Amino acid sequence: MTIAIINYGASNLYSVKNCLNRLNLKSIITSDDEIIRQSSAAILPGVGAFGQAMYNIKKLKLDYSIYKFIETGKPFLAICLGMQLLFEKSCEFSQNKGLGLLQGDVKLIGGNKNLKVPHIGWNKINLVNRSTKNSVYLKNYDDDFMYFVHSYYVNPADEKIVLTKTNYQDFIFCSSVEYKNIIAFQFHPEKSGEKGLNIFRNLKKKIS
């Protein structure tokens, strides 16, 4: 039972790995297609710029690996920038195409409201759909604090995939989504204390 942490040159890889180590979950940081596809689960983490991240993913042909892994139905987690990359496009710096696995785009927090960005620190996540209240990963989570570091947010075309929303200075944004075997978080579970660790514990239960 191995979890692939997909390496496309972004930061935050080792904090995710250290978190998994604490739970005795075997993981490997890798860009290797065969290793990724044979893993029990895969995680797409990341902190950085959307355009550069997509350039690296395509250069390493990791888009193909990600598509093929998701087709297996095994758990696929995405964190922060990793979550944003799942969508169709981002307006960060310029228009950049994403992986297109989920419909929707990525926008600057606050739009024309001139909110302070990046949004850094602890904030609450609130479950929004009854159908997602039994999520394997966030079951019994509601009004819990998680750690955020981001300037952009995802804007899903389908509200049904939205798992939680978060309020930042009266600007409400999507903070996690779940669709089939994809679960993605704008916050950082690996930096969110015991509540964050519990998400990975729930992953462990799912793949055991």
Contact criterion met (CB below 8 Å) for 154 and 114: no
- 2-7 average pLDDT score: 97
137: left (phi over 0), alpha (psi -120 to 50) or beta: alpha
**188 part of the active site:** yes
Boundaries of domain holding 73:
3-207
Contact criterion met (CB below 8 Å) for 90 and 105: yes
Tell me the pLDDT band of 93, cut-offs 50, 70 and 90. confident
- Give the pLDDT score at 141: 81
Total structural domains in the chain?
1
Q: The domain spanning residue 151 has which CATH number?
A: 3.40.50.880
Contact criterion met (CB below 8 Å) for 181 and 44: no
Residue 130 pLDDT > 60, yes or no?
no
Bridge partners of 168, per DSSP, are 171
How far, in Å, CA of 162 to CA of 189, rounded? Answer: 17
Quick check: helix, strand or coil at residue 8? coil
Q: Which of 119, 174, 188, 194 is catalytic?
A: 188
Contact criterion met (CB below 8 Å) for 90 and 84: yes
How far from the centroid of its chain's Cα atoms is residue 176's Cα? 7
H or E stretch covering 122: strand 119-127
pTM: 0.94
Q: What is the number of alpha carbons within 13 Å of residue 208 lying toward its C-beta? A: 9
Token couple for 200: 């990975």
Q: Which of 150, 174, 178, 190 is catalytic?
A: 190
**196 closest CA partner among 125, 131, 133:** 125
Give the tens place of pLDDT for each residue, 157-176.
999 999 999 999 999 999 99
Query: Which of 59-73, 133-147, 163-177 has the lowest average pLDDT?
Result: 133-147
How distant, in Å, are the alpha carbons of 65, 99, 140 from that of 17? 20, 23, 25
Q: Which of 19, 34, 80, 92 is catalytic?
A: 80
- Give the pLDDT score at 110: 85
**190 part of the active site:** yes
H or E stretch covering 14: helix 13-22
How far, in Å, CA of 113 to CA of 99, rounded? Answer: 28
